[in-house]
């Protein structure tokens, strides 16, 4: 009987739908709406200007946010793993508790961004301007990488990307 229950549970888990993107939520954000907690997996937000929006707790994994303007955006607790945010502007954005693992912020402008508790493991900040970001710790930066042109708050350093 125990084996039947385990087999049934495993079958139910395998048959459950994957956490695919939600096209209507993505379209809503592309038009400029806030969408806290939304599933924006692989969303194309590249080149968008989305200021003062709330995407806290949203799933933006593998999204394209390159060359966009996201000033004052609330991305706290958001899933930003593998995001491409090349050359984007995040002035005063809130990344508190966000998962930014393996994200690309090459050439990004993060002045005034709040990064307390953010997971930066594997994130690339080469050429990023973040010398006025707050909440950054050396422990966070030790798991990320950058280059000689990465601007950090005084007293912090970042390993070179290799």
Cβ neighbours of 109 (radius 10 Å):
20
Give CA–CA dist 92/94, Å, rounded. Answer: 7
Does residue 8 carry a pLDDT above 90? no
pLDDT tens readout for residues 46-90: 999 999 999 999 999 999 999 999 999 999 999 999 999 999 999
Q: In which band, very low, low, confident or very high, does the pLDDT at 99 lie, cut at 50, 70 and 90?
A: very high
Domain segments of the chain as ranges: 45-162
Token pair listed for 158? 């970042």
Q: List C-alpha distances in Å: 50 to 44, 70, 106, 125, 142.
A: 13, 5, 19, 21, 30
Averaged pLDDT of the chain: 91
CB contact at 8 A, 49 and 29? no
Model pLDDT, residue 19: 59
Please identify, in words, the CATH class of the domain defined by 45-162. mainly beta
């Amino acid at each position: 009987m125990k084996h039947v229950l385990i087999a049934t549970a495993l079958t139910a888990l395998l048959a459950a739908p994957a956490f695919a993107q939600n096209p209507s939520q993505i379209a809503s954000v592309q038009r400029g709406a806030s969408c806290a907690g939304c599933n924006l997996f692989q969303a194309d937000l590249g080149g968008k200007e989305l200021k003062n929006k709330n995407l806290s707790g949203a799933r933006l994994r593998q999204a394209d946010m390159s060359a966009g303007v996201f000033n004052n955006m609330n991305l706290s607790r958001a899933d930003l793993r593998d995001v491409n945010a090349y050359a984007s502007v995040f002035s005063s954005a809130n990344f508190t508790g966000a998962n930014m693992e393996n994200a690309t912020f090459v050439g990004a402008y993060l002045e005034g961004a709040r990064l307390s508790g953010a997971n930066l493991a594997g994130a690339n900040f080469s050429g990023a301007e973040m010398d006025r970001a707050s909440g950054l710790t050396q422990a966070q930066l030790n798991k990320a990488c950058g280059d000689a042109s990465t601007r950090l708050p005084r007293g912090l350093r970042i390993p070179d990307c290799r």
